[in-house]
Amino acid sequence: MLCTATEMVQESAFPPALDTTRHAVFLDFDGTLVELVDDPQAVAIEPAAQRELAGLARKLDGALAVVSGRRIADLDRFLSPDRFAAAGVHGLERRRSPDGAVEMLAGPETLDPVRDRIASAIESARRLHLEDKDTALVLHYRTAPDLQDLAERIMAQATEGRDDLVVMHGDCIVEVHPAGMDKGKAVAAMMEDAPFAGRIPVYVGDDTTDEFALRHVRNQGGVSIKVGGAEKTSVAEFRLPDIAAVHAWIAAAS
Ligand SMILES: O=P(O)(O)OC[C@H]1O[C@H](O[C@H]2O[C@H](CO)[C@@H](O)[C@H](O)[C@H]2O)[C@H](O)[C@@H](O)[C@@H]1O
């Protein structure tokens, strides 16, 4: 099911092959490395695909990061036993190397009033699911698409008057977190330091929240790749049709 669409015209060129001596690779997680499913905790990466991913990180001398709306702890769990550099919760969590510490750019307290309002609002809308990521709250409606308007209304009411927060609309979700960070800013920050600095950024993502990073990378002369068909409009220059194509493209890296 397609829950969202973004702006701008389509180009559908197949991306160039990865060059592991020159590229820095940033990969979205849900919808890019793993298939979308109803239960957010039920995603799984194919073992062969995970081996290729770990192999790519080695070939790039570590210049590979997962850039996700997920918490880094959740990414680690889904990708265990491998660990990667990562930007979690749209950049509000950051880990510059696989074994480094996770920097938190915001705390959970700021969302407490919103958390309470959403929890009480969904008591009468039990088919909506609240995912609490500490520094972000997500209302899921993949299994209740008829409740999209209600989910958006609940989020709008719960965040009314809070200019310090930003509401984002993703694939069958509406999400809130502290303002000031997005995936484009997260990629820009990671590109400032080794092992990413000096390389050409490559970004692969499927959702509206990836558009910040796709735009940033395209503006920097990097390689921007949208995952999905023409129904998903994007600023990206290149396109891979689906998750299987992403993994095949990763496996072909030289
Ligand atoms: O930035 P991403 O790695 O793409 O993470 C975005 C959101 O992913 C998860 O939600 C999405 O995947 C779920 C599992 O397939 C699906 O049920 C949901 O409809 C999708 O939007 C995650 O639950 C969110 O917290 C992330 O923000």
Asked whether 239 and 218 are in contact (CB, 8 A), the reply is: no
Lowest mean pLDDT, pick from 6-20, 98-112, 169-183:
6-20
DSSP classification of residue 14:
P
What's the whole-number mean pLDDT along residues 232-251? Answer: 97
pTM of the model: 0.95
pLDDT at 181 over 90: yes
Closest-CA residue to 218 (of 189, 242, 187, 195): 187
Percent of the chain with pLDDT over 70: 95
What's the whole-number mean pLDDT along residues 144-171? Answer: 97
Closest atom, ligand 1, to C-alpha of 205: 4
| pLDDT at residue number 28 | 98
CA angle 137, 50, 14 (to 5 degrees): 85
Tell me, using a 6 A CB cutoff, whether residue 74 lines ligand 1.
Answer: no
CA of 30 to the centre of ligand 1 (A): 5
Q: Specify the CATH number of the domain 109-178.
A: 3.30.70.1020
Residue 147 and residue 153: Cα distance in Å, rounded?
A: 10
| pLDDT at residue number 216 | 98
Tens digit of each residue's pLDDT (9 = 90 or more) over 51-76: 999 999 999 999 999 999 999 999 99
Asked whether 110 and 164 are in contact (CB, 8 A), the reply is: yes
What's the whole-number mean pLDDT along residues 1-20? Answer: 70
| pLDDT at residue number 254 | 82
User: Where do the domains of the chain lie?
Assistant: 23-105+181-251, 109-178
Q: Which of 28, 76, 182, 210 is catalytic?
A: 28
Closest atom, ligand 1, to C-alpha of 75: 3
pLDDT at 197 over 50: yes
Tell me, using a 6 A CB cutoff, whether residue 36 lines ligand 1.
Answer: yes
Residue 169 and residue 62: Cα distance in Å, rounded?
A: 31
Tell me, using a 6 A CB cutoff, whether residue 28 lines ligand 1.
Answer: yes
Model confidence band, residue 225 (pLDDT cutoffs 50, 70, 90)? very high
Model confidence band, residue 6 (pLDDT cutoffs 50, 70, 90)? very low
Lowest mean pLDDT, pick from 10-19, 98-107, 195-204, 230-239:
10-19
Closest atom, ligand 1, to C-alpha of 175: 27
What's the whole-number mean pLDDT along residues 24-41? Answer: 98
Per the annotation, the verdict on 61 as an active-site residue is no
Model confidence band, residue 237 (pLDDT cutoffs 50, 70, 90)? very high
Topology annotation, domain 23-105+181-251: Rossmann fold (3.40.50)
The counts of H helices and E strands in the chain are: 7, 12
| pLDDT at residue number 9 | 44
